[in-house]
Chains A and B, each alone.
Chain A
C-alpha cells in the first residue's frame, strides 16, 4: 500500500520558536495532502488542505500566518508552526490520497508530537 512518512516524529521546542514538520508520500505522487491536529483523546481536526503548486486552503479558525503550509513538490508538504506557544502542543498528522491509482482512502503519516515548553 501507499506510504506516507513524517519528520520529525516528535519535537520539543521553546515558546516563541518555529518548528517545521515534513510530510512525504514515499511511493506515490500526492497533488493534495491534508494536515490534521489531534489533541489527547480527541478526534482529528482538519487544519488545511495542501495543494501542490498553489496556496493551501485553511479551515475556519485556523490561522494561516501561524501555520504555514508549503507544498513544493508532488511528494512533499511542510507545515511550519511559527512562534509556537504551549497551546500549540499537539499531535500533528498529515494524510494524502493516491489519485493516480484512483484510490479514495487517505493514507496517514505516523504523526508528529509537538511539545512547546
Chain B
C-alpha cells in the first residue's frame, strides 16, 4: 500500500543543537501536514504544506515541501527541552475530500538540557 517513510526514527540532541526530520513518499502528495505528539499525549497539528517548494516558518521551526511534492522536512533551530516529543508527517495522497491522512513512522526527539 501507500507508504510515507520518515527518518530518523530517533534523535538525541544537546539543547541548543539543531534537529531535522525527513519525510519521503514514492508518489506525489496532494499535501502534507506535520503533527507533534508529546509523551503520553495525542497528536497536535503544527502546519500544512500544499504548494510545490513551499517553505513555512513558525518561530524556530521551518517546514519545507519538495519541488516534486514527494518529500518534506521539519527543521528545528536551537532546540529546547520543550521540543521533546514525536514529530509525525501525515500525507494526503489524493485531492478528494475525505481528509484521510497517511502518517509517517514519526521521529522521536530527545533533548538533553
Contacts and interface: CB of A to CB of B under 8 A. Distances in A.
Interface of A: 32, 34, 36, 41-46, 49, 57, 60, 93, 95, 97, 104-111
Given A93-B42, A108-B43, A43 B48 contact: no
Contacts of B106: 42-43
B68 interface: no
Contact of A44 (B33, B43, B48): B43
Contact of A32 (B33, B88, B98): B98
Contacts of A93: 42-43
Contact of A46 (B31, B33, B44, B101): B101
B103 interface: yes
Contacts of A57: 98
Interface residues of B, number: 23
B42 A43 contact: no
Contacts of A34: 99-101
Contacts, number: 53
Interface of B: 1, 6, 31, 33, 35, 41-45, 48, 88, 90, 98-106, 108
A42 B105 contact: yes
Nearest to A36: B103
A108 B44 CA distance: 7
A106 B101 contact: yes
Given A105-B33, A107-B45, A46 B100 contact: yes
Given A93-B42, A105-B45, A108-B42, A46 B98 contact: no
Contacts of B41: 110
A49 B108 contact: no
Nearest to A105: B45
A61 B42 CA distance: 24
A34 B35 CA distance: 16
Most buried by B among A36, A44, A93, A97: A44
Contacts of B31: 104
Nearest to A93: B42
A43 B45 contact: no
